Each structure stands twice: as structure tokens, then as C-alpha cells.
Amino acid sequence: MDDSPITKGTGHGGRWVQLVALLSLVGMLLGAAFAQGDAASSQATFPKGIVGEVDLSPDHGVVGAHATLTGSGFDAGAELQIFWGAFKGKWKLEMKDGEYTGTFSGREFEENDVLLTTAQVGADGTFAADFTVPEGFGGTHDVYVREDGVNVNKAGFKVAMSASMTPESGPVGSDITLTVTGLDILNNVAGWYAVMYDNAITGFVTAVETQGTAVVTIPAAGRVGKHLVQLRNAPFNSPYLALASSPYAYLPEPEFTFTVTDGEPVMPPEMKTQGPATIAGTEPTGTGPAIWTDPVSSGVYTEGHIHGKGFAPNTALDLAFTNMAGSRVTLAGYGAAMVKVGKVTTDASGAFTLPFETPDVLGGEHRLEASAGGEVLATTLFNITPIAISLDPAEGPFGTDIMLHMKGVGWTQTDNIFAIVIDNVYFGYACGFSTNGDVQVPFTASWAPGWHVIDLYPSFYRNKDYSEADEQPFLYRQAILTWKDHPNQIHFRFMFRVPE
């Protein structure tokens, strides 16, 4: 595969036939690449046919590159708009009545064209338009020429992945930030990378909801001296090491050198301050019966209140919330159950306030119900986020037994699992469904004297069609380093010291 443009518009018959044939081939290739990603394909039409000829120079580059689109054979004085054929991505989470059912179905994309610039056709029927390649997904993009909102021609520009690393040195625990642009996430092979640290897998890079741009922050770890940091193509669960002799040999695989320096380690924030922030609840509008929690999203044990309004005065209400129970890995299965909160009586205005501590149950969304006489009168959702309870002990010699304790781990395909990375090496994963969100992970210190970094990242447990799908790219039960692009945005960091 080379860096030539995939499309190039023309108004002449022979070249148009070639264009159609080439587009058909590209369509087949993209169809195969998009099969598991449910990516949208361009639905562009040309109601007036192809007008004039266009050329793009250069026709490939990275995000931020400059290019010039030129054209001839257009109507003198015509006002043209130059659009970038872009897509917007998101994770597919199955919803029902506004609630996440727990089922994850991969990715989906929709067209989201971007206006690059405008141009006026000269008296000789030509135009020139300079533009900057916008931030977004990599791969080949159509560059449309439109007149009065209608496509009249197009060219193609191929966006390559690029990456940078900063800083280049620092003591153990320092942040190493990789910024990656132009990931071709729509292609099930080309746009999927793993970070390698000293030739060991750290975790995977995604950019679905960050639209092709990934920011990865890993800690400086290991001995004092130089360490190799790489981005390797890895759509099939692990890096493919013979990429140079594959059909995807054109893909870049950036590598960097980071130097761990001597000195005091950079310690992570206090454990209780890590994890998602608490989000305050707000009173709903309207006059009918309504309930809400404050906070609406928090870790277990957080003090708050349940509020209600719009009920009949002096009415006794039962409060209860949904919680899942069971397991995905046994024949017993799982299902929803109601957990009683208690009773409350509204005041003369039909309102109430009840102290409420975020319960020690599974993480994720829970539906809270207020009912009277068995009839549900009002509902609301509140969210429980994971918290770190302890890393015990935090220091010890080789062979020390260590216990990592978490609460509020969820039950859905995207919330019930977290991955553990030690000194930038993927260690394994744990989930918290069958233990009602309470997870204890034992492991043994096996490291050289000094400080060692333990990171927790989100992951994906499985896909809805796991038993039938090829699941390419394979992201399941892996550490997703781009945790801000994950539906469950968690990241925790701890340090363990092995004394001399």
C-alpha cells in the first residue's frame, strides 16, 4: 500500500471510469476493515454530476499539515465550499428507557463533515484553496468541493499517524505523556496500537470518542538509565512483530527513549483523592412527583441526601434502588433485585429530604424508586464510582504478600473489570460482579529494591457478540491506557517500595 491519493475528481470520461473502478475497490477494502466497527461509510452524492477537475498537493500527511486544492473547468465567479469528509465515533452501549443495559456492542461512527475553507472561481474557471488538515481520525478522507451546498467534485487526502513524547527524562513515578494523532480507528487493523515499555506490553491505545487523537500518560518506572518506549500495531490482542513484511508495512511504529534519573520518586496523589470526582445532584424541573439524589455520582460511603417533591402531603413512601446480583461465569446467571432504603413521609407541601450514604454495592447506574401502596410514583438514577480502599502493605521485601482492595466496581461489560499494570508491564485483570463490587486482589512482591508503580486502568470484559464475532480489534481484558476515552473513566496509581 502506498501513499497515493485514493480519489481524484475529473470531468473526463476515461479518467472517471478509472475513478469509479478505484472507488469500488476502496469500498470493498473499507467494507472489510469496517466490518466489526460498524463504521459509517460516505453517502456522498453528486446530483449535478462531476464538475471540472481537481488536484490536491500534497495528497498525504499528518494532522496539522498544509495542503492546496486546485481546480479547473468550473463556472467563472462561482462560490465554492471545501469540506473535509470526517466521522464522529462513539462506543456502542445498549440502552433501554434511558438506562444502560450492561451490553457493549463495539463502536459506531457517523459522518461529520468539516468546512475547511471557501474559494471563488476566477474568470478562467480555476481556483486554489489552501487548508490545514484538521484534527480527527487518520486514513483516507474525501475533500469535497461544493457549490450551493451540493457536491460537484472531490479529491482524497491520506492522514498518517504521528506521535510525540514528553518529557525525555525524570525520576521514578514521573509522568511520561505520549500524544498520538491521526489514528485510523475506522480501520480494524491500521489504527490500533499497544504501548510497549522495554519490549513488554503496557496496554492499549484507543481514540474512539476522542476522534483519532490519543493522550497516554504512563509512569517512569524501572532502573535508573534508558528505557525504550514504543507504539506497536496490535489489533489482534498483542503486537504483530513482523509488520514490515505484512500488507500493513506502511504503518508507522514510533519509538522513543526515556531516561529514568536518580532522585526522589514522584508519588501519586493520596488514595482517597483519586478516582472520578463527586458530582452534585440538581433539582428536576416540573411540578409532578419527582425524586433526586445529591450527589448524583459518587464513591461508596459518600454522605448525601435523597430529595423529593410534588407528592401528596403527609404521604408515606417506600424508597428502594435496583442492584444486580449473580455472575456471568456460572450457570446461575444474574438479574436485578430491589434493595430497600427505608420509608419516608412527605411534609405538608409534599416534599421530603432523607440522609443517604452511597451504598456499598456494585458500581454503575442504579435506579431509585419512590412508591406508595406498591405503585411506583417517581424514579431517578444515581451512579456509584469505584474507589480504592487500600494497598496493604505499601512496603516490604521480596516475597511480601500484598492485597489491593477496591470497592464500587461495576457489573456491566464496561464497568465490571479493571486491569493492573506494574512498572508498565500488564499484570492481569479482576472484576467485581459476583462480590457486589468489593474486589480484593492478592499478589506477591517480586521486584528489585526501590520504588515500583502499580496502575489500574479500565477495560472491556466482552462484546455482545463475543461467541460469534472475530472481535477485531481485540481490546478485551486488556489495559486501556487511554482511560479518558473509555466509558468507565477510572485510573488509580499506587507506589510500593522494596527496601535495600
Residue 109, C-alpha cell as written in the block: 461512527
What digits encode the pLDDT tens for the residues 183-223? 999 898 999 999 999 999 999 999 999 999 999 999 999 99
Radius of gyration in angstroms for the set of CA atoms belonging to the chain, rounded to a whole number: 27
Q: How far apart are CA 477 and CA 267, in angstroms?
A: 27
Q: Give the pLDDT confidence score for residue 8 in this predicted structure.
A: 34
Instruction: Answer whether residue 397 shows pLDDT above 90.
Output: yes
Q: Give the pLDDT confidence score for residue 470 in this predicted structure.
A: 61
Lowest mean pLDDT among 22-26, 166-170, 194-198, 388-392: 22-26
Share the mean pLDDT of the chain: 89
Q: Give the pLDDT confidence score for residue 30 in this predicted structure.
A: 41
| Over residues 84-88, mean pLDDT | 95
DSSP E strand stretches across 185-315: 193-197, 200-205, 214-219, 225-233, 255-260, 290-294, 297-299, 303-309
Q: Grade residue 22 by pLDDT with cuts at 50, 70 and 90.
A: very low
Q: How far apart are CA 170 and CA 285, in angstroms?
A: 51
| Over residues 33-48, mean pLDDT | 56
Coil, helix or strand at residue 144: strand
For 23-74, give the DSSP string: HHHHHHHHHHHHTTTT--------TT---SEEEEES-EE-TT-EEEEEEESP
**498 vs 16, which has greater pLDDT?**
498
Q: Grade residue 289 by pLDDT with cuts at 50, 70 and 90.
A: very high
Q: Give the pLDDT confidence score for residue 10 in this predicted structure.
A: 38
Residue 54, C-alpha cell as written in the block: 481537481
Residue 218, C-alpha cell as written in the block: 504512563
Listed in sequence order, the residues at least 6 apart from 384 whose beta carbon sits closer than 8 Å to its beta carbon are 297, 298, 299, 300, 358, 359, 361, 362, 363, 364, 366, 408, 410, 437
Q: Grade residue 474 by pLDDT with cuts at 50, 70 and 90.
A: confident
Helix (H) / strand (E) containing 14: helix 13-34
Instruction: Answer whether residue 41 shows pLDDT above 80.
Output: no
Residue 496 is which amino acid? F
Burial 129-153 (b: 16+ CB within 10 A, else e): bebebbbbbbbbbbbbbbbeeebbb
| Over residues 264-293, mean pLDDT | 94
Residue 273 is which amino acid? T
Residue percentage of the chain with pLDDT more than 70: 90
DSSP E strand stretches across 289-412: 290-294, 297-299, 303-309, 316-326, 334-345, 352-357, 364-372, 375-385, 387-392, 401-407
Residue 355, C-alpha cell as written in the block: 440522609
Q: How far apart are CA 20 and CA 322, in angstroms?
A: 55
Residue 371, C-alpha cell as written in the block: 412508591
Residue 231, C-alpha cell as written in the block: 507504539
Instruction: Answer whether residue 465 shows pLDDT above 80.
Output: no
| Over residues 456-460, mean pLDDT | 96
Name, of 22-36, 87-101, 326-340, 343-357, the range with top average pLDDT.
Answer: 343-357
